[in-house]
Amino acid sequence: MHDLAIRTEDLTKSFGEIRALAGLDLEVARGEIFGLVGPDGAGKTTTMRLLSGLLRPDAGRAEVAGLDVVERTEDVRRLLGYLPQTFAMLHELTVAENIEYFADLYCIPRGQFAQRSDELLSATGLTEFTGRRADALSGGMGQKLALICSLIHRPQVLLLDEPTRGVDPVSRRDLWRIVYGLPAEDVTVLISTPYADEAERCNRLGVLVDGILQTVGTPQDLVARQTSRPIELQATEQRLARNALEKLGGVETVAVVGQALRITVRRDGPGPEEVLKALDGAGVEATEAHWAQPRLADALLAIAERCGKDG
Amino acid sequence: MGDRLIRLRSVAQKELRQMRRNPVLIRTLLLAPLIQLIMFGYAATTDVRNVPVVICDQSRSPQSRALADKVRVSPCFILTGHVQDPRDLKLELDAGRAQLALHIPLEFAKDLRRGRPASVAVYVDGSDSVTASVAMSYMAGLLGHYGAALKLEQLKRAGLRPGGPRVEAVPRVWYNPELRSMNFMIPGVFGLIIFVITMVWTGQSIVRERELGTLEQLLVTPVRPLELMLGKSLPYAVAGLVDAGLIVLLARFWFGVPLRGSVALLFALAAVFILTTLGLGLLVSTVSQTQQQALLATFFLVMPSVLLSGFFFPIENMPWIIQQASYLIPFRYFLEITRGIFLKGLGLRVLWPQVVTLTAFGIALFAAGALAFKRRLQ
Amino acid sequence: MADAPRAAVVVEDLTKRFRDFVAVDHLSFTIAEGEVFGFLGPNGAGKSTTIRMLCGLLLPSEGRAQVAGLDVARETEALRRQIGYMPQLFSLYPDLTSVENLEFYAGLYGLRQPSLGTRIEELVVRLDLEAVRGQLTGTLSTGWRQRVALACAIIHEPPILFLDEPTSGVDPAVRQQFWNLIGDLAAEGTTVLVTTHLMEEAERCARLAMIDRGRLIALDTPQALRDGLQGLLYEIDADPLLPALEALASAPFVMDAALSGATVRVRVAEMGISREAAIRDALAAAQVNVVDIRAGEPSLEDVFISLVGDREEASAR
């Protein structure tokens, strides 16, 4: 078998005048959990749709498990599980009937299907709910059912497009527990997420902005590559502080984290003391400024912001 | 301008903007009247012409040939052929090659000569009952004429003068002298188009908001149901009237349907009728959760309306109970109005009962539609 | 309490039943004027139902609620001018442009020219909508759409704002912006009730109500909720990771174990013996190599999970 689960070469796709993906070169190794992160409309969904053969690329090529997606769409689809953002469950059917339906779509013999279905149901904790209609499931449970349906044919590669959107923390954790277990079953996962804490759980990340792959690396790599450093501080008038900090030279990003302000400053930028002094000079009250531990969220925000400014 | 008017205008303007961006809607508004007119004007004709006739002439006499010639030259019939064996007549009817069959027996001429009643057997394919009965009566008339002519000739030959008491009908057909079914159909289509277009699209536009989720947002704003309903339906009412205008032009100048009454009255009453159709559309939208449901509900309203209104079949021929039911169909009154104005050139002096009833229906249905629309969920 | 802020929202024993299903079960809380009040809870806990009742969209089965001093069941008409509502569902007309959507809602609130134009321009600047003002909202990405939807919800400058999962599926940068705006509105005196599934957003609320199966299970500031968490937290770097998680999840003294990034995060009950030693023992028994063990700070997610925990499955309808 192939060592690269996913490989794209110069993959390009436009919709009318909008360039959704511009020359994507991506390699995802077998057994990896690869995260696609980036702002809205960066091309994450387009990438997944191209990989699943739902869209035809304008240029370039894509391979799944060594098979060209355009030339061998049928074979690729057998190897592939795809959970789109809006998964088409059959609302009037029960959980069990939905699973059966998707198993039938992939022509899985009944004997094999029962075992696989039980396995997935117990892993997701849906075993007791097999008789419930899909439209009576909560958001979290619905996503779990969707995940089961996309795994029922034992795909080699699983594409998950923001599977935890609108899902509560408990269900989110359950979903991730399943995803974590997949590489052990020799399933490669390509997952997109808008959340930094989820990106942190991936083996490697690709940051897409405006259809261009900005950088690839482990979450640690991305944090280490950060040229700016984070400072946290408290301000009584958050809005005034925010505005003053945004204008301050050497400050790259300004974010509110809980009740604190978190900024990233360039190497040549101000340190905590200078920030406080500058704020004081602007008539803004602030305290407790200190260097903070760099985090992935800072890095992702900085990349998005830099590209946003370019565009 | 009061807040109410501002809200109303906002809704109407929004709806109009959405209409403009909906290519399907624009196409429907333009094509629907055209297609309906062609369908009902040309295809759904009840005129009986060119009924295929087959004859089995066993008499083979000048009299029987004269009768066959009469059939041949009649505009109602086409003589498609002769058969030798009377049993073959059934075959011709079975195969649909003929709809009517004449069997002129061996003794036809002999009976005529001896002054005895001569019988001709007429077989009709009755599966299409309308055509069959019309063709039957044409044929009976044709045979009657033939008989009378023969008798006259006989009397003349005997040197007698025809005389004695006789009653003759002198028919004068008013309103539709050529008895064109198109003239009857197209004023109906005028009503039907307004009916369907305005009802379907108002219903759909509200259900679409429910499906989209915008309705929930609307419900927390100060807009009142009546404002919302009026605002949403106004653009469709205008569209319906524009379509009506299109039909009038086509009817008059393409199909040559006479428009003898006042155009202004026709449109004023169309506006009243639209009030009922919008009300129905609103009612449909309040009971439907999805656009498909709304479409289905509309269909179930249109079918009985068309059948019971006298659009196709005269109400007088319906059983008593159905006739009573037809009084509940607003379309019925509007049909009487459109046909009255188009063909008879009637004015309010004659049409006022229909106008009063239709107005009452309009106000009641629109109010019911607006009231049924709940401002709370569930 | 002489200068206690006035209450913008008062909820007493609010209950909603759908046939035999109790969606909201005797909920009581008060939101102060100008407060950013967070609503947390599993999917289907009754958050949206509560908001719909507060907006006058649903009639309560029992109990009462006052918003801006108005009874939500009886004074609905007056209530509509006091509130802004952003439903969870897409609430814009996809075939209208951003500005056309704004114009429409402005009209519904009776705004007229020239103040209508001024107000829209103000919002375009404030929410940074210049780039998409003429674009059909159906073609906008989620982040933009939510910003336009928020603009529509505040077009009439409502003193009270209900936002139901406004940032679902929105990317971090836009979420920051969105929450900055919420903060600004609150600073100007607007009361905001907002639901979210993201704990980093919950941290930005002044107070949080946690709802589960229609009941209020906790209500306090984020700080107090974190401080009140039972047990102690540890973060463990281990190799291999998954067996480590399984071993700890099944250990009797562990209240809660989860992966967070590439570390295992456990909450451990208070006990006499050394907890660190107990963790090491459990991992050693599972033949897992411990790289590092360190104490962790409690997060809101820990609080959420400890309160809602595994009961989610049973409670979800």
Pick B216's closest partner by Cβ from C77, C87, C109.
C87
Find, in chain B, the residue whose alpha carbon is nearest to that of C84: B220
Is residue A252 within 8 Å of A266, Cβ to Cβ?
yes
**Cβ contacts of C169 within 8 Å, gap of 6 or more:** A40, A85, A162, A165, A166, A194, C142
Rounded Cα distance between A156 and A173, Å, is 23
Nearest chain C residue to A236 by CA distance is: C187
CA C62 to each of CA B220, C22, C23, C193, C221: distance values in angstroms, whole numbers, following the listed order: 21, 11, 12, 21, 28
Q: List the one residue out of B340, B331, B194 whose CA is nearest residue B258.
A: B340
The mean pLDDT of chain C is 87
A195 in the same domain as A284? no
Instruction: Pick the residue of A168, A201, A243 with the most C CBs within 10 A to test the interface with C by mutation.
Output: A168
pLDDT of residue C1: 44
Do A232 and A215 lie in a common domain? no
Q: Which of residues 43-102 of A touch C (CB under 8 A)?
A: 85
Examine the pLDDT at A301 and tell me if it is beyond 90: no
Residue B308: its pLDDT value, please?
86
**Alpha helix segments (H runs only) across B158-290:** 181-212, 214-219, 225-253, 263-287
Residue B171 binned pLDDT confidence (cut-offs 50, 70, 90): low
Residue C98 has pLDDT above 60, yes or no: yes
Give the pLDDT score at B169: 67
Show which subunits contact C, needing at least 3 CB pairs below 8 angstroms.
A, B
Restricting to B residues 222-261, those with a Cβ less than 8 Å away from any Cβ of C are: 222-223
Residue type for position A154? R
pLDDT at B164: 63
Distance CA B153, CA B173 (A): 30
What is the per-residue pLDDT across B1-29, written as a single tens digit (0 to 9) for each? Answer: 688 888 899 999 999 998 888 888 888 88
C112–B1: do the CB atoms touch at under 8 Å?
yes
pLDDT for position C50: 94
- C-alpha span between A50 and A73 (Å, rounded): 11
Q: What is the least distance, in Å, from the CA of B279 to any CA of chain C?
A: 22
> Which chain C residues have a beta carbon less than 8 Å from that of B218?
108
How many Cβ pairs within 8 Å bridge chains A and C? 134
The CATH number assigned to the domain holding A276 equals 3.30.70.100
pLDDT for the residue C317: 36
Residue with tokens 């052990």: A184
C7-226: CATH number: 3.40.50.300
Does the pLDDT value for residue A141 go beyond 50?
Answer: yes
The model's confidence at residue B212, banded by pLDDT at 50, 70 and 90, is confident
B202 touches B282 (CB < 8 A):
yes
Residues of C in contact with B1 (CB under 8 A): 112
- Which of C 174-213 lie inside 8 A of A, CB atoms? 174, 176, 179-180, 183-184, 187, 197-200, 203-204
Query: For the residues A95-124, what does the mean pLDDT come to?
Result: 82
What's the confidence (pLDDT) of residue C271? 67
Grouping H, G, I as helix, E, B as strand and the rest as coil, residue C272 is: coil
Q: What would the mean pLDDT of B315-330 be, rounded to a whole number? A: 86
Task: Answer yes or no: do C111 and B213 touch at CB < 8 A.
Answer: no
Do residues A280 and A137 share a domain? no
Res C224 pLDDT > 90: yes
C102 touches chain B (CB under 8 A): no
Taking CB atoms and an 8 Å limit, are C96 and B3 in contact across chains?
A: no
Asked if B221 and C105 come within 8 Å (Cβ–Cβ), the reply is yes
Yes or no, beta carbons of A138 and C42 under 8 Å apart? yes
Q: Where are the domains of chain C?
A: 7-226, 230-297
Neighbours of chain B (3+ CB pairs under 8 A): C
- In this predicted structure, the answer to whether residue C310 has a pLDDT above a threshold of 80 is no
Judgement on whether residues A282 and A191 belong to the same structural domain of the protein: no
Assigned domain for A128 exists: yes
Q: What is the pLDDT of residue C2?
A: 46
Say yes or no for a CB contact (<8 Å) between A301 and C242.
Answer: no
Percent of chain B's residues with pLDDT above 70: 93
In tens, the pLDDT along A160-204 reads 998 888 788 888 888 888 888 888 888 999 999 888 888 888 989
Asked if A169 reaches chain C (Cβ–Cβ under 8 Å), the answer is yes
For the cut 50, the answer to whether the pLDDT of residue C313 exceeds it is: no
Q: Which of C87, C100, C112 sits opposite B213 (nearest CB)?
A: C87
Tell me which residue of C187, C147, C144, C176 sits closest to C163, measured CA to CA.
C147
- What is the pLDDT, as a whole number, of residue B378? 53
User: What is the pLDDT, as a whole number, of residue A311?
Assistant: 38
pLDDT above 70 covers a percentage of chain A that reads 98
| H or E element in which residue C267 lies | strand C263-268
pLDDT per residue as tens digits for the range B182-210: 788 888 888 888 888 888 888 888 888 88
**The amino acid at B294:** A
pLDDT on residue B47: 67
Contact call for residues C140 and C132 (beta carbons, < 8 A): yes
What total of structural domains would you count in chain A? 2
Q: Is the residue at A130 inside a domain?
A: yes
Return d(Cα B34, Cα B243) in angstroms, integer. 10
The confidence score (pLDDT) of residue B148 equals: 82
Tell me the C-alpha distance between C135 and C99, whole Å: 8
Residues A159, A265 share a domain: no
ipTM computed for the complex? 0.83
Given this model, what pLDDT does residue C211 score? 92
Q: What is the pLDDT of residues C239-294, one digit of tens each?
A: 877 888 888 888 888 888 887 777 888 888 876 667 777 888 888 887 888 888 88
Alpha-carbon gap, residue A306 to A308, rounded angstroms:
5
Q: Measured between CB atoms, does A305 come within 8 Å of chain C?
A: yes
Point out the least confidently predicted range of A12-16, A223-227, A302-306, B211-215: A302-306
The Cα–Cα gap between C33 and C30 comes to: 10
DSSP-based three-state secondary structure for A159? strand
Contact C197 A39 (CB under 8 A): no
pLDDT digits (tens, 9 = 90+) for C45-77: 889 999 999 999 999 999 999 999 999 999 988
Straight-line distance from the first to the last Cα atom of chain A, in angstroms, rounded to the nearest whole number: 41
Calculate the dihedral angle through the C-alpha atoms of C24, C30, C32, C37, rounding to the nearest 10 degrees: -40
Task: Match 């004449």 to its residue by tokens.
Answer: B102
Residues A260 and A181 in one domain: no
Question: Which residue of chain A has the CA closest to C311?
Answer: A170
pLDDT above 60 (res B221): yes
Same domain, A15 and A157: yes
A153 assigned to some structural domain? yes
Q: Would residue A300 count as lying in a domain?
A: no
DSSP of B276-310: HHHHHHHHHHHH-SSHHHHHHHHHHHHHHHHHHTT
- Please identify which residue in the block is written with the tokens 């001569």: B118
Q: How confident is the model at residue A310 (pLDDT cuts 50, 70, 90)?
A: very low
Q: What pLDDT, on the 0 to 100 scale, is given for residue C42? A: 85
pLDDT in tens, A234-249: 888 888 888 888 888 8
pLDDT score at C312 = 42
Residue C55 in contact with partner chain B when CB distance is under 8 A: yes
pLDDT at position C144 over 80: yes
Three-class secondary structure of residue B19 per DSSP: helix
Q: Do residues A122 and A150 both lie within one domain?
A: yes
Considering only the top CATH level, what class is C230-297?
alpha beta
Torsion on CA atoms A212, A216, A221, A227, rounded to nearest 10: -20
Out of C172, C183, C316, whose CB is closest to A194?
A: C172
**Same-domain pairing of A252 and A213:** no
Task: Report yes or no on A299 lying in a domain.
Answer: no
Domain that holds residue A244: 227-293
Q: Report the alpha-carbon distance of residue C255 to residue C309 in Å, rounded.
A: 10
Q: Same domain for A64 and A10?
A: yes
From C80, C85, C93, residue closest to B14, measured CB to CB: C93
Model confidence pLDDT, tens digit, residues C185-221:
998 999 999 999 888 899 999 999 999 989 999 999 9
For C203, which residue in chain A has the nearest alpha carbon?
A: A258
Q: Which of C309, C298, C299, C302 is nearest to C212 (CA)?
A: C309
Tell me, yes or no, whether A311 lies in a domain: no
Q: What pLDDT, on a 0 to 100 scale, did the predictor assign at position C268?
A: 86
- Do A36 and A124 fall within a single domain? yes
Give the C-alpha separation, C243 to C254, whole Å: 15
C-alpha span between C33 and C27 (Å, rounded): 19
Residue C313 corresponds to which tokens in the numbers above? 């499955």
What is the pLDDT, as a whole number, of residue C315? 41
Per-residue model confidence (pLDDT) at position B369: 84
Does residue A310 sit within a domain?
Answer: no
User: Taking a C-beta distance cutoff of 8 angstroms, is the pair C145, C92 a contact?
Assistant: yes
Give the contacts of A211 (CB within 8 A, at least 6 positions apart): A19, A20, A21, A22, A24, A42, A43, A46
Can you list the domains of chain B with their CATH numbers?
3-44+179-372 (no CATH), 51-151 (3.40.1710.10)
Burial class (CB in 10 A: 0-12, 13-18, 19+), C222: buried
More confident residue, A287 or C17: C17
Residues 25-54, chain C, touching A (beta carbon < 8 A): 41-45
Q: Between β-strands C191-195 and C36-40, what pairing exists: parallel, antiparallel or unpaired?
A: parallel
> What is the spatial distance between Cα A113 and Cα A149, in angstroms, rounded to a whole number?
11
Residue A124 has pLDDT above 60, yes or no: yes
Q: Nearest 5°: CA angle at A110, between A106 and A114?
A: 100
| C76 reaches B (C-beta below 8 A) | yes
Which residue matches tokens 């690839």? A216
Amino acid identity, residue C71?
A: D
A245 and A189 in a common domain: no
Report CA-CA distances (Å) from B44 to B38, B39, B248. Answer: 9, 6, 19
| Cβ separation C108–B7 shorter than 8 A | yes
The answer to whether chain B touches chain A by having 3 or more C-beta pairs less than 8 angstroms apart is no
C81, amino acid identity: R
Which residues, 6 or more positions from C107, have their beta carbon under 8 angstroms from its beta carbon?
B6, B7, B9, B10, B11, B13, B14, C116
Q: What is the pLDDT of residue B26?
A: 83
Sequence-ordered list of residues with C-beta below 8 angstroms from that of B171, at least 6 positions apart, any chain: none
C259/A176 CB distance under 8 A: yes
Give me the pLDDT at residue B44, please.
65
pLDDT at C127 over 80: yes
Contacts of B24 in chain C (CB under 8 A): none
DSSP label of B221: S
pLDDT of residue C316: 40
pLDDT digits over B79-135, tens only? 888 888 888 888 888 888 888 898 999 888 888 888 788 888 899 888 887 788 888
Contact A40 C204 (CB under 8 A): no
Q: Which of B112, B120, B119 is nearest to B53 (CA)?
A: B120
pLDDT at C124: 94
Burial class (CB in 10 A: 0-12, 13-18, 19+), A14: middle
DSSP run (H or E) holding B112: helix B108-113
Residue A309 in domain? no
Q: Which of A196, A221, A246 is the last residue of a domain?
A: A221
